[in-house]
Amino acid sequence: MTDPFAHFQEWMTDAEKTEPSDPNAMTVVTATPDGKPSARTILLKGTDPRGFVFYTNKQSRKADELAANGHVFLLFFWKSLGRQIRIEGVVEHVTDAEADAYYATRPRASRLGAWASDQSRPLATRAELERRLADYDAKYPGEDIPRPPHWSGYRVLPSYFEFWQNMEFRLHDRTIYIPTPGGGWTTGKLFP
């Protein structure tokens, strides 16, 4: 296979058939301005020929780190398949139209939660979050809940892929994809 996006889609399709929960879960690794790594697991919400899309509060820790250093690392791990995919790249913001379209598909409580949560900020008690959620529920009683200005998405533009397949005796199969000048990808193998 010469297209890492097609390879990714093939493995994601397999994961969707076998993973019991959230086959689109991925670890997103960012770095603080002084270079300390920071990781969390979130959900992939879209792919296109340019990259991999996720959404978040733009005032969150991950967004602060991405503003300071746009390099990012994604890791998909499917234990039931004995597979993982590592993706390195940089982020760009999705368009407002993309963010609006995705936001509109979210459950009502999730849309209200985007307003109520000061993501990554200290929370005194759970009751405070529940009160804020009730306040926004009253403010937006129907389905028409606008997207908060502080909530949007990022697209990871990949510059490196590694597909790892578990094999017997720890002789794993590792396939890499590196971009070529002018477009396309070069493939190769790594020792396990």
At 184, list the tokens: 């396309």
Catalytic residue status for 126: no
Distance between CA atoms of residues 132 and 24, nearest Å: 29
Residues sharing a CB contact under 8 Å with residue 187, sequence separation 6 or more, in sequence order: 1, 2, 175, 176, 177
Task: Please identify which of the residues 61, 126, 170, 174 carries the catalytic annotation.
Answer: 170
Distance between CA atoms of residues 153 and 101, nearest Å: 11
Contact 2, 187 (CB under 8 A): yes
Catalytic residue IDs: 170
